Amino acid sequence: MSDQNVQPAAWEVLSGKKALLAAVIILLIPLIILYAEYIFNNVRPLGVDSVASVASTRKYLDWEKESGEKALWNPSFFCGMPTYHRITPPLLHPDTLVEFLGKFTYLYFWYFLLGGLGMFALLISRKIPWYAAVIVALGFILLPHWQSLIHVGHYSKLRAFMVMPWLILSFQLLVDKRKWYTVGVFALIFSWMVRTQHIQVVFYGILILLFLYLIPVLRLLFRKEYRLFGDLTLKIAVAVVLTVLVSAQPFISLHEYTPHSTRGGNPLQIGQEQASATRAKGVSLDYATRWSLSPKEILNFFFPRFFGGMSSEKYDGNAYPRLKGQNLPGYWGDMPFTQSYDSMGFLLFLLALIGIIRYFKLGQVKSLTIFAVFTVLLGFGHHLMPLYKLFFYYFPYFSKFRVPVMIVNMTFITLLILAGYGLKALFSPREHERDYLEPLVFGGGVVFILILLLFRGQFSYMAPGEASRYPGETLGILKAVRKEILTGELLRALWITVLAGLAVTAYRFKKLAKFPLALILLGLVSVELGIITGKAYNQIPLGNEKVMERRQFSDTDITRMLEKAPEGYRALVVGQGFQDNHYAYWYPLINGYSAIKLQTIQDAVDHLLFEGSGPARLNWNVVNMLNGRYIIASGQLEHAFLKPLAIDQNRKEILYENTRALPKAWLIQRLEKVDSWEEAVRNMNREDFNPAAVAYALDADGQYSGNGTVRLESQTPNSLTFSVNTAEKQFMVISEMFYDEGWIAEYQGNPLPIYRVNYMLRGVELPAGEGTLRLRFNPPAYRRGLVVSWIGVIIVWILIGGGWWLERKSRREPETHA
């Protein structure tokens, strides 16, 4: 009997609901195993970014609870910076529902389940058998990179990637059905991705849609099917407009903020890197491409620790028993460092290869294959600079992106879809008895691994610069450890490939049934990815968030002094803690960490703050100007104006009081006009710069007596209130970051213009008299965005509900007439 005449078993042709139920059960098993501690012990990741977020947001979150208002500005670090562009308002939207579910158990447990179901549904829509689709869906949720995103706290990126299969599926639905309810569905999913606020992943999503569907859409035009082309183009345009409406907040606010940020490409014109950033209207090219995929590191795609794994690897080998359990520098690739395993395993890749060979004539498979190659080439970054420069300088928003290697996650998603086609081919009946493609592919995989094992002694096992960094004996041990890691990876891949190949060959020669083959492949994918995902999972520090907060931010002599410190000043951490938000938990900081900070504070760090003399190289005039009353240093600072206050023996830090620090606001004697901010910065770096007496501006100048009083009465995240008393017109400098998108100054209820002074600060010209000056932050973009988002989501649901009702009605009418 030929394969074509064999009737499918009942389990192969489950109904849609039963197949979905089976997929949910299969996906829940590894998720519950992986996140058991999260679910049952209520632990959460305590990674560096998570801890930093707690420190930088604690003050304004407490204020939100007390006041009932939404904080649109965060004064806790970097001398203050906007937060309104990060606020995603709750709507009648899928992400709001998932956030609600996150109140009952770990939020990202739900996102992984939804991501896996999205991949499952996407493959089902492409006529992939459900049992093949669930194998790929399992592989998707077990990709080890997702654990690294949890580790470092890059949650918006993780959410965006989990939505990616749904984005492709919803657009496919729109292109295939061309109904108005599908317009609403795509707008809902697309806005979900945009509302994650990870624009780089959104860009990747748009790219894959263009690769998959641009030619099919244009083909309608080439075939002169103008009506269909116009109808589809209109519906896509409406969906995009609705996406923008639903995502108006934060999209409008983010669009407003970006030009002022380090992604905006508007730095001071000092140095070659700044020129590159300005040309690109984003970060500099060198900065953007530091984490580029080296061509040789493609081997990591299949063998996760081929190049040593992460920069810090816990040694679990046998060659050096005394090192067991210790963290060693594992990674020996070309990137500065890495905290992730960028891998999809070898088994799923071989299945993708089968899918490409079997179905390459299909337009979608061809497009997926080309897109996979393209993403790898773009991920090369500075290793393929002509291609990267093309996108960096000429594609909208691309210059604001960092880490080219991030795009390999799209490579994996694409190859996983192709693996679905490979499984479909594997389980499909054969037209020719002598068709041995699948056994040959697995046999080729075994040979490839054996060749790598044979030549593993030829690799350097050294990262750039390590020869001079480590003594000879240490380097020898490191190289031996890395070789041991590589050997272990290859041997594990070998036995998995051999087992899979034997099972596939047995199935091909009818010695193994389809059901056990599906179980074997499901198990092998689980083992291959589960092992490395488990390693990534074990890197994540877990604990109770409240307990962590109490431990991480326990009181010390320094923090007790800061909590009692007067309002209106800031602390500056110098040394290793400069890029740390730790002390923002208690007191506002000049320094800190944010991936997308204001460009002004970055320029201050690059060109002002450390342009002084002495061991710390601090420009004390600028420190004084930024209210730097408290200095936290990891060593002694010898200055007459610094008064030691407290010591933290555990952190090896000393708290000093800077007796020269200026208050929150003061009156100056001279406002001097300059031709450029570069000129102002040069003046501020001179030793005779006196911020208490003089300020620089581009659009104003004047002489003042400087006589009068200014007192800070109150400060909240969204406002500052001063009482002022002057006998004549004066100019007041306010030591707060200048940001001209929403700050309003009012003196006795009358508006006053806010000037940008000393490149980064605010200034107002005061009339004579006694009164109250109030500055409040109320960006119109935020208010508009909220209103527009609600309008957009209501229209979307009307389209979905109304369109679905009309569709059902049109289906019933023929039955009625019949």
Give the tens place of pLDDT for each residue, 640-683: 999 999 999 999 999 999 999 999 999 999 999 999 999 999 99
User: For 4-27, what is the mean pLDDT?
Assistant: 87
Question: What are the backbone dihedrals phi and psi of residue 601, each rounded to the nearest 5 degrees, phi first?
Answer: -75, -35
Say yes or no to pLDDT of 2 above 60: no
Q: b/e for 265-280, b at 16 or more Cβ within 10 A?
A: bbbbeeeeebebbbeb
User: For 726-739, what is the mean pLDDT?
Assistant: 97
Cα-only R_g, the chain: 30
Instruction: State residue 265's pLDDT score.
Output: 66
The 3-state DSSP class for residue 124 equals helix
Reported residue count of the chain is: 818
Say yes or no to pLDDT of 141 above 80: yes
CB 627 within 8 A of CB 661: yes
The 3-state DSSP class for residue 746 equals strand
Say yes or no to pLDDT of 454 above 70: yes
Task: Name the pairing type of β-strands 670-673 and 665-668.
Answer: unpaired
- Alpha-carbon distance of 202 to 111, in angstroms, equals 17
Instruction: State residue 271's pLDDT score.
Output: 59
Say yes or no to pLDDT of 816 above 70: no
- Alpha-carbon distance of 635 to 654, in angstroms, equals 7
Q: Which of 132-146, 272-286, 486-500, 623-637 has the lowest mean pLDDT?
A: 272-286
CB 160 within 8 A of CB 202: yes
Instruction: State residue 287's pLDDT score.
Output: 83
- Alpha-carbon distance of 57 to 50, in angstroms, equals 11
Instruction: State residue 551's pLDDT score.
Output: 84
β-strand partners of 775: 720, 745
Give me the domains of the chain, ranges plus CATH numbers.
Answer: 8-54+88-260+781-818 (no CATH), 566-658 (no CATH), 665-778 (2.60.40)
* DSSP summary character for residue 456: G
- Alpha-carbon distance of 219 to 224, in angstroms, equals 9
Residue 236 — very low, low, confident or very high, per pLDDT cuts 50/70/90? very high
604 or 283, greater pLDDT: 604
Mean pLDDT score across all residues of the chain: 93
Shortest CA distance to 178 belongs to which of 239, 242, 117, 243?
239
User: For 302-313, what is the mean pLDDT?
Assistant: 95
Say yes or no to pLDDT of 115 above 70: yes
Q: Which two tokens stand for residue 707?
A: 């006589």
CB 582 within 8 A of CB 55: yes
User: For 701-715, what is the mean pLDDT?
Assistant: 96
Strand locations in 173-316 (E): 313-314
pLDDT 10s digits, 251-263: 899 989 989 998 8
Angle between helices 199-222 and 408-427 (to 10 degrees): 50
Shortest CA distance to 159 belongs to which of 98, 85, 246?
98
CB 292 within 8 A of CB 382: yes
Question: What are the backbone dihedrals phi and psi of residue 510, each rounded to the nearest 5 degrees, phi first?
Answer: 60, 35
- In 509-570, which ranges are continuous DSSP H helix? 514-538, 545-552, 557-564
Shortest CA distance to 742 belongs to which of 287, 111, 144, 85?
85
CA–CA distance from 491 to each of 233, 454, 486, 639 (Å)?
52, 12, 9, 61
CB 500 within 8 A of CB 524: yes
Residue 1 — very low, low, confident or very high, per pLDDT cuts 50/70/90? very low
CA angle 275, 277, 281 (to 5 degrees): 120
- Alpha-carbon distance of 803 to 300, in angstroms, equals 47
Angle between helices 48-67 and 545-552 (to 10 degrees): 100
Encoded amino acid at 621, one letter = N
β-strand partners of 654: 633, 647
pLDDT 10s digits, 480-503: 999 999 999 999 999 999 999 999
Residue 282 — very low, low, confident or very high, per pLDDT cuts 50/70/90? low
Instruction: State residue 284's pLDDT score.
Output: 78
User: For 12-21, what is the mean pLDDT?
Assistant: 90
* DSSP summary character for residue 70: P
Instruction: State residue 755's pLDDT score.
Output: 98
Instruction: State residue 16's pLDDT score.
Output: 86
Instruction: State residue 628's pLDDT score.
Output: 97
* DSSP summary character for residue 762: E
Contacts of residue 67, Cβ cutoff 8 Å, sequence gap at least 6? 716
Instruction: State residue 6's pLDDT score.
Output: 65
Instruction: State residue 48's pLDDT score.
Output: 67
Say yes or no to pLDDT of 3 above 70: no
Give the H/E segment covering residue 747: strand 743-747
374, HSE (Cβ side, Cα atoms, 13 Å): 15
Encoded amino acid at 33, one letter = I
User: For 368-390, what is the mean pLDDT?
Assistant: 96
pLDDT 10s digits, 751-798: 999 999 999 999 999 999 999 999 999 999 999 999 999 999 999 999
pLDDT 10s digits, 153-185: 899 999 999 999 999 999 999 999 999 999 999
User: For 371-386, what is the mean pLDDT?
Assistant: 97
User: For 739-756, what is the mean pLDDT?
Assistant: 96
- Alpha-carbon distance of 7 to 24, in angstroms, equals 26
Say yes or no to pLDDT of 274 above 90: no
- Alpha-carbon distance of 292 to 229, in angstroms, equals 39
Say yes or no to pLDDT of 275 above 60: no
User: For 71-97, what is the mean pLDDT?
Assistant: 95
pTM: 0.91
The 3-state DSSP class for residue 618 equals coil
Say yes or no to pLDDT of 576 above 90: no
Q: Which of 267-276, 306-315, 452-461 has the lowest mean pLDDT?
A: 267-276
User: For 199-205, what is the mean pLDDT?
Assistant: 96
Task: Name the pairing type of β-strands 542-543 and 327-328.
Answer: unpaired
How many CB atoms within 10 Å of residue 746?
A: 15
CA–CA distance from 376 to each of 148, 269, 406 (Å)?
20, 34, 10
Shortest CA distance to 332 belongs to which of 299, 309, 315?
309
Say yes or no to pLDDT of 432 above 80: no
CB 51 within 8 A of CB 550: no
Say yes or no to pLDDT of 627 above 60: yes
